[in-house]
Structures are given as structure tokens and as C-alpha cells.
Amino acid sequence: MKEISMHILDIALNSIKAEATLLEILIEDSIKKNRLQISIKDNGKGMSEEVKNKVTDPFYTTRQTRKVGLGIPLLKAACERSNGYLSIESKLDEGTRIFCFFERDHIDRSPLGNMGDTIMSIINCQGNCELVYTYRTDRGEFTLDTREVKNILHGVDIRDSKILLWINEYINENMRNLS
């Protein structure tokens, strides 16, 4: 069973491949409402209706090197195992939003995993893509926006290993404080 943070990394890499310049990841983790919701939204090149309809089928991919694309089908399966669902909104030249719902206390719900690692990996391979990450629980929320981080870095590369490790720790600490 794959952790949800690893699925989020896969979906975010699709957005980067689709030449997004802005990627917004929102996790809403509510014990009170017994749900875990994830939204991954980009302003990349989007999908045609045809691609969008085929994309949850594991035998569909626009990759040339391998026949099956598994990123979206695997996440969809993980949602459905916990009585949830995955939906896709996408428009050519506008962008894509993947939305996932998990029943939080379902015995087969995958663990969220290490989001600090996932965000660090996304930032490390982003081209010109800015990232806004928000984690929200019943107790509050926090956001990390790479544009704000870059503003205080005064030209130091955000992919510098010390900065990445700081971001990783910052995310995991804030998430611990909210859960």
C-alpha cells in the first residue's frame, strides 16, 4: 500500500510535465467530518475531453516509453478502497484539478505519509513552477508559498540542500502542530 504523499508526488509531477507555472496543493484533514480531501490544481496545458475521459484507465498514457500510465489510476484505486472517489476537471490551455476524497477512519485508508519529503521533492524538480501548499485541519491551517520563500532568500537558490531541508522540517513541524 502506497502512502498518499507518494501519490501526491506522482500527480504533481504530471503538472510539472504539463508545463504548469503554478501548482496548488490543498489537504483538508478533518477528524470531525471524518474525511481527508486533497486538491491538486495546476495551470498547465490541460487535457482534451478525450484524454480526460481515458485517463483513469491504466492502459492509457501519452508517454512514448511505456504503455501504461499508472499515476492517476493508482490514486483513484486508493480513494475507492476507503469508500472515496477521485474526480478530474481539466481544460485545454487552462489547467487541471485532481480532487480526491478519502473516508478518514476507513480501515483501508492509506496513511498520509511524509508531506515534507513530497514537497521537498516537488520543489527540487520544479522548472519555473511555483508551489502553494496548504494543510488544513479542525485546529487551523498553514500555507507554504514558494514565491514568499524566494522573496526572503534574496537570490539564494530555493533548491539549495539546506533550504530544502529547512522546508521539509518546517512543513512536518507545522503539520504535527495542527494534528
Ligand X SMILES: Nc1ncnc2c1ncn2[C@@H]1O[C@H](COP(=O)(O)OP(=O)(O)OP(=O)(O)O)[C@@H](O)[C@H]1O
Point out which residues bind ligand X (CB under 6 A). Answer: 10, 14-15, 18, 42, 44-47, 51, 55, 61-63, 69-73, 96
- Asked if residue 61 binds Mg ion (CB under 5 A), the reply is no
C-alpha cell at 43: 495551470
Please say which residue, 12 or 175, places its beta carbon nearer to Mg ion.
12
Q: Which does 168 bind (CB under 5 to 8 A by kind): ligand X, Mg ion, none?
A: none
> From the CB of 61, what's the least distance to Mg ion, in Å?
8
> From the CB of 139, what's the least distance to ligand X, in Å?
31
Interface pick for Mg ion out of 7, 41, 46, 71 (rule CB under 5 A): 71
Nearest to 18 by CA among 50, 63, 49, 53: 63
Contact 129, 20 (CB under 8 A): yes
List beta partners, residue 134.
26, 143
Please say which residue, 82 or 96, places its beta carbon nearer to Mg ion.
96
Please say which residue, 98 or 144, places its beta carbon nearer to Mg ion.
98
C-alpha cell at 169: 522540517
Interface pick for Mg ion out of 4, 5, 9, 14 (rule CB under 5 A): 14
> From the CB of 122, what's the least distance to ligand X, in Å?
13
Q: Which helix (H) or strand (E) holds 140?
A: strand 140-145
CB atoms within 10 A of CB 59: 10
Q: How many residues bind Mg ion (CB under 5 A)?
A: 2
Please say which residue, 14 or 174, places its beta carbon nearer to ligand X.
14
Could you give the strand order of the β-sheet that contains 22-30, starting from the edge strand earlier in sequence? 85-91, 95-103, 35-42, 22-30, 130-137, 140-145
